[in-house]
Structure formats: C-alpha cells, structure tokens
Amino acid sequence: MGAVIESVIDPGLVPALHEAVRRGAPPERTGIRVTARGWAVGEWTGESAYPVALTGADLPDASDGLDVGAAARLCAPAEPGRSHYGIPDEQGDVLPCPEAGTVFVTGGQPWTRAWWFERAGARRVVREAPRGDGVESVWLTPGGAYVAERARPDEVWTELSPDEAVRRVYEAGAEHDEDDSTDLVRAARHARDAVAALTGGLTDLPGAVATGETARALSDLVRTTVVADLRAARARAAYRIYEFTDRDASRAANFLRVGRAAAKTLIEEGRPRPGPRTP
C-alpha cells in the first residue's frame, strides 16, 4: 500500500483503510498510523512499529463503501480534548507541514505524543552507530531536541532525553562522530577521549601500573571535584533560568525537569553571592 503523507487524518484516508480491508487485509492488523512520514494506511505483523489511531476493526459494517459522513465522524478522536488527529511541530503548533523533508517522531509513544520537524534544518550528531541488534543515528533538530533514527526494519524516529543523548554520544566510536556544535556533544566526547587515553600503556608491567594509578586518580577527581563542579554549573544555569522566567520557581522547575522544591534548592545554590568588601 502506498504511503499517504498527512499531518492530520484526512477523511480520504478512512475510505482507503476500508478498501484495504475489503481487498483482504486483516482488519486487526491494518490501520491508519503515524509513520515517519505522517498519517498513512498500512499493514503490520506482530506489534505495529508506529502509533495506531484506527484499525479496520473500528470501521462500521459497510460492504458497499463508507459514506462521507461516516468517514468524517471517524476523523474525530475519542481522546478527551481532541477534535482532530492533528500532529504538532516541535513548538507544539498544529500547522500544515512541508510536502517534503518532514520527519515525524513517534517511537515508543502514543499518537498524542508524536510531533514533526523539518529534516533540512537538523544536524546529525552520531552517524549509523551499532546499538542493540541494529544501527542508529542521532540528530539534533532545529528546535534543539535530540532524536534517534532507526531505518530498519521500519524507519522510526524516537525523542531522546539529554541523559539518553549524552550516553549515545559517549558510547559511539569516534568513527561515527559528526556535528559537535553543542556543549552536550563536546563534553561527552571529551569524557570518552579521556577514558580512551588510558589504554595506550598496557604493553608492559610499568605501563599497566601507571594506567591503573591514573584511572584511580581520575576516578577520585571525578567523584570529589568534577561532580561538585558540574553541580555548581547546573545551579548557575538554574538561577539564570529563574531570571529568564520572571523569577517564577514553578516555571523554572518545568524547564529544569525537576520538582518545585528541587528547583528552589538549585536556584538558591546558583544565586550570585556578593563579593568581599574592599576597604
């Protein structure tokens, strides 16, 4: 079945689903799904790789075809507060998407959490690195989100948290490195390079001893100093976020992805302290 690229479920997709089932596609495994290229009618085996809105089993019994009214009613979702199946861009706006170069991020989410971005403005950070039983690339979208791309067996794009993104960058070999325009990417690669630098002295006993001592010393440095420095950097950033959100701790907490109490602690830690008075 050919893909129909849509950012909303158009009434024309419902008759296409009906026709697919009429021609023998299994109703429970044929439906309208958000693919990497938008809403489309498709068939699957096992579990669908994409979020499904309607299946052939949801269609009314209409052996002679669906009328326009029935198709239109099926384009209104059952989810509360939803009047249509529109998929927003990464800013949260439901707008017509470009005819080409649009990518829909759907991995591991229901259709209500899907969103799209324009690939032309994205930057690839990790190029086709082995992961699990497949190959994965990591991209930075125009809006600053990290997403993972898996091309096989189905093209699926998944949003990554900063924690997931930094781990992907760290674990990828240098041969898979591409764009390094963000602090997260550069810092992850510096950490990886620091560990890789310890593998060169294992050819004899003195070298192995020196490598072991260096690894221990660096571990102590990370635990006693680097972690504290990272906490201080996070606190300074939290205070600036607090200022940028009109000193509203609740709004700042949303950007920091922590509870309000934790946000207030970070903000207080990052608050500039007056310098010593000069005589």
Higher pLDDT, 1 or 194: 194
Answer whether residue 237 shows pLDDT above 60.
Answer: yes
pLDDT at 278: 64
Mean pLDDT of 83-89: 88
**What is the pTM (predicted TM-score) of this model?**
0.86
User: Each residue of 33-46: pLDDT tens digit?
Assistant: 999 999 999 999 99
What is the per-residue DSSP string for the chain?
------SS--TTHHHHHHHHHHTT--GGGEEEEEETTEEEEEE-SSS-SS-EEEEGGGS---TT---HHHHHHHTS-SSTT-SS----BTTS---PPPSSSEEEE-TTS-GGG-EEEEGGG-EEEEEEEEETTEEEEEEE-TTS-EEEEE-SSS-EEEEE-HHHHHHHHHHS-GGGB----SHHHHHHHHHHHHHHGGGTTTTSHHHHHHHHHHHHHHHHHIIIIIHHHHHHHHHHHHHHHHHHTTT-HHHHHHHHTS-HHHHHHHHHHHSPPPPPPP-
User: Each residue of 153-174: pLDDT tens digit?
Assistant: 899 999 999 999 999 999 999 9
Mean pLDDT of 98-119: 90
The rounded mean pLDDT for the chain is 90
Answer whether residue 3 shows pLDDT above 50.
Answer: no
Higher pLDDT, 220 or 10: 220
pLDDT at 74: 85
Q: Which of 122-131, 136-145, 270-279 has the lowest mean pLDDT?
A: 270-279
Mean pLDDT of 184-197: 94
